[in-house]
């Protein structure tokens, strides 16, 4: 009788083994499908896995930046890394489009030496506009870097994955964003201004106008162009340097698995960026 009972129990144990194995495989699948640490609890919707298509409100030029009471553009919060990338792209494109539109208007209105002399105030105003728009855009790029870091560091992914996610900041702000600003404003629009006025209508006026008047206008135009070019380059260079140092420092701390130090780097950088608005 004992032998029969033993055979029955052994058979029951054997039948239960596939079920346990299947449960274990399911548990392993869940573990491998997330990038969280052992002590982390996955959320229902990990922040970095959201897409623009999943958001209820599409990112448009109207939602990328807003104007405050002083006329200075302020950052609009983005819900995900992907959405933030779109906001950055739109912001650069919109800023360049605004400046290009103003340039094309000047190109139409001031196409002779006499028209230039009559509208020097418009030319000077536009140089100031280029300077201000570029400065504010470079500040916003640093604000975007803060947003990147806040999203990544507050997510539930592992430290190794946080380290990798910071490549998004480098690629979209320092590399692609920085290149676009340099190419479109410093190496693009300002070169066009030089060709249009100093090397264009003013050069044409050399044989038409009194030398003293022509010399004064040409010198003034060159000074405006040179000073604006220098300011725009310095603003771009400072933004590039600050973002690169921030990206490098915070990844160094993550490489050392020190999340607290990484958050300290973010806090210090955020304070420095806030000072740029003062």
pLDDT confidence of residue 230: 98
- Cβ distance 210 to 125 under 8 Å? no
Contacts of 156 (CB under 8 A, 6+ apart): 36, 40, 41, 42, 43, 46
pLDDT in tens, 109-153: 999 999 999 999 999 999 999 999 999 999 999 999 999 999 999
State the average pLDDT over residues 23-48.
38
Q: pLDDT over 70 for what percent of the chain?
A: 72
State the average pLDDT over residues 250-263.
97
pLDDT confidence of residue 77: 62
Of the candidates 174, 160, 149, the residue with the CA atom closest to the CA atom of residue 240 = 174
pLDDT confidence of residue 277: 85
pLDDT confidence of residue 80: 85
- Cβ distance 168 to 148 under 8 Å? yes
Q: Which of 21-35, 51-65, 115-129, 245-259 has the lowest mean pLDDT?
A: 51-65
Q: Mind spelling out the 3-state secondary structure of the chain?
A: CHHHHHHHHHHHHHHHHHHHHHHHHHHHHHHHCCCCCCCCCCCCCCHHHCCHHHCCCCCCHHHHEEECCCCCEEECCCCCHHHHHHHHHHHHHHHHHHHHHHHHHHHHHCCCHHHHHHCHHHHHHHHHHHHHHHHHHHHHHHHHHHHHHHHHHHCCCCHHHHHHHHHHHHHHHHHHHHHHHHHHHHHHHHHHHHHHHHHHHHHHHHHCCCHHHHHHHHHHHHHHHHHHHHHHHHHHHHHHHHHHHHHHHHHHHHHCCCHHHHHHHHHHHHHHHHHHCC
- Cβ distance 62 to 87 under 8 Å? no
pLDDT confidence of residue 79: 77
pLDDT confidence of residue 1: 42
Q: pLDDT over 90 for what percent of the chain?
A: 69
Signed CA dihedral, 115, 118, 124, 126: sign only? negative
């Amino acid at each position: 009788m004992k032998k029969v009972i033993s055979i029955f129990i052994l058979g029951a144990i054997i039948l239960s083994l596939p079920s346990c194995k299947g449960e274990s495989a399911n548990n392993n699948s869940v573990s491998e499908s997330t990038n969280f640490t052992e002590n982390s609890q996955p959320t229902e919707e990990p922040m970095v896995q959201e897409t623009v298509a999943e958001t209820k409100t599409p990112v448009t030029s109207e939602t990328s930046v807003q104007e405050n009471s002083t006329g200075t553009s302020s950052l609009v919060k983005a819900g995900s890394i992907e959405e933030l990338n779109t906001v950055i792209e739109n912001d650069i494109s919109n800023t360049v489009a605004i400046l290009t539109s103003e340039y094309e208007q000047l190109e139409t209105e001031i196409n002779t030496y006499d028209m230039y002399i009559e509208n020097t105030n418009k030319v000077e105003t536009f140089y100031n506009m280029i300077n201000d728009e570029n400065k504010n855009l470079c500040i916003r790029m640093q604000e975007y870097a803060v947003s990147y870091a806040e999203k990544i560091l507050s997510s539930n992914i592992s430290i190794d994955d946080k380290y990798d996610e910071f490549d998004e900041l480098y690629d979209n702000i320092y590399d692609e964003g920085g290149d676009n600003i340099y190419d479109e404003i410093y190496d693009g629009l300002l070169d066009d201004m030089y060709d249009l006025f100093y090397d264009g209508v003013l050069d044409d006026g050399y044989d038409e106008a009194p030398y003293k008047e022509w010399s004064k206008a040409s010198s003034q135009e060159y000074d405006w162009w040179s000073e604006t070019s220098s300011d725009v380059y310095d603003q771009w260079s400072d933004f590039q340097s600050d973002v690169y140092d921030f990206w490098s420092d915070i990844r160094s701390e993550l490489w050392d698995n020190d999340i607290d130090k990484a958050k300290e780097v973010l806090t210090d950088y955020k304070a420095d960026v806030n000072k740029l608005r003062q």
